[in-house]
Amino acid sequence: MPSGPGPTLRRMASWRDRSALRACAPTLTLGVERVTGADLLQGAERWAGAFRSAGLGPGDRLVTALPTGACLAQVLLAGLQEGLTLVPLPPTVDPVVAAAEADPAAAVAAPDAFGGRDVGWAWRAEGAGGPAAPPRTLRPAGPRTPLARLLCASSGGGPWAALVDDNLDHAVDAVTEALQPEQARWLSVLPWHSPAGLLLDLLPALLGAQDILRPVPGDEILAADVASVMQRWQPTHAVLPLPLVGELRTRWGGLAPLAALLGGLATGPGLDPGLAADLRRTRLRTHRGAPELSCMVTLGEPGIWRPGALGRPVGCTIADGPGGGLLVSGRPVTGGRWVDGRLHIVDRTVPVEVTLT
């Protein structure tokens, strides 16, 4: 059943603040598995120590190829707090293949990710217990990238985006300020290896929630799984992709269960007039972003829905672009581009033209 009173956002100033995290870490529920906040953070501290012991320092690039779960949360949190440049990838991606583009010093992946190969510069990891045997050596890599906190593929298929600390702060602060998830029972469905899953879902939940509720371990979450969690745990907050909201509407014959949420975002394609009409009976907000824009450009007000609505710009200015997209400048614009194994810092005051997702 739901936990009792939880932390407040005033106690959690930043995802870099270890002491504040220790004071308010939420319990993580993945299907029938429960990981306490203390165990979650102890595992993250063990990973941070393992990174230091292996010789990783600020700006070293670390590829992660893990399914969504406690282990991935611990690795990501430890990497962020150690100042590494994280390259989170789906668990289906071969870390050795990814290394050709990301040029990492090390990797963390599931035991079966390497196809039986002995990769000496990688940790094999699973579960919430922390790291097993360390790598034998670090991978020879190019210059460190201490300004970049995340490297992620751009939505248009161009150069990878390099997100800096301010990009992360911008997105996480926007979500926590809008949703105010104090004492929240946070329904999590986005994959945490995606930029949106990390910035809009996992980090805001870690900073404000009492419980993080994943219907099942891993990345494939179905409408039936969400419906079961809604009935059993009665979550108060959620970040939901619109296609999943549409499937829930079909399943329920409406969105009455989502009307019980105290706050949340619904993001992505798939909004039609009928779905918009049902969303107006909820407190969910529209949201638009893109990986190369820290996943946060505009936010709507609770229950204000109509096809084509963008919401208000968050920390940026937007205008129509000559190519049919939108010109965005300001805090959402990522601090750099990763091109041919090198970090190129960009001028964030120069508008970039994108199609928002």
Specify the number of domains making up the chain. Answer: 2
Whether 313 and 292 have beta carbons less than 8 Å apart is answered as no
Q: Are residues 171 and 48 in the same domain?
A: no
Residue 133 — very low, low, confident or very high, per pLDDT cuts 50/70/90?
A: confident
Phi and psi torsions of 63, nearest 5°: -80, 135
Residue 157 — very low, low, confident or very high, per pLDDT cuts 50/70/90?
A: confident
The answer to the question of residue 138 being in a domain is yes
| Bridge pairing between strands 33-35 and 27-30 | antiparallel
Whether 165 and 61 have beta carbons less than 8 Å apart is answered as no
* pLDDT above 70 coverage of the chain, percent: 93
Q: What is the model's pTM?
A: 0.93
Residue 12 has pLDDT above 60, yes or no: no
The answer to the question of residue 10 being in a domain is no
Residue range 7-12: average pLDDT?
38
Two tokens at 117?
Answer: 């190969």
Q: Are residues 131 and 228 in the same domain?
A: no
pLDDT in tens, 331-350: 999 999 999 999 999 999 99
Exposed / middle / buried, residue 133 (Cβ in 10 Å: 0-12, 13-18, 19+):
exposed
Residue 6 has pLDDT above 50, yes or no: no
- Domain at 176, CATH number: 3.40.50.12780
- Domain at 89, CATH number: 3.40.50.980
Q: Of the residues 94, 113, 146, which one is the last residue of a structural domain?
A: 146
Residue 270 has pLDDT above 60, yes or no: yes
Residue 3 has pLDDT above 90, yes or no: no
Domain of residue 199 covers 165-354
- What does the pLDDT read at residue 116? 76
Q: Are residues 139 and 195 in the same domain?
A: no
Q: Are residues 125 and 202 in the same domain?
A: no
Residue 22 has pLDDT above 70, yes or no: no
Residue 226 falls in which region: left (phi positive, over 0), alpha (psi -120 to 50) or beta: alpha
- What does the pLDDT read at residue 340? 92
Q: Are residues 127 and 199 in the same domain?
A: no
Two tokens at 296?
Answer: 């946060």
The answer to the question of residue 228 being in a domain is yes
- The number of angstroms, rounded, from the C-alpha of 135 to the middle of its chain's C-alpha atoms is 26
The answer to the question of residue 2 being in a domain is no
Please list the alpha-helical segments (H only) found in the chain: 18-24, 37-54, 70-81, 95-102, 165-179, 195-196, 203-208, 223-233, 242-252, 273-279
- What does the pLDDT read at residue 317? 95
| Bridge pairing between strands 336-339 and 160-163 | antiparallel
Residue 308 — very low, low, confident or very high, per pLDDT cuts 50/70/90?
A: confident
Residue 220 has pLDDT above 60, yes or no: yes
The answer to the question of residue 160 being in a domain is no
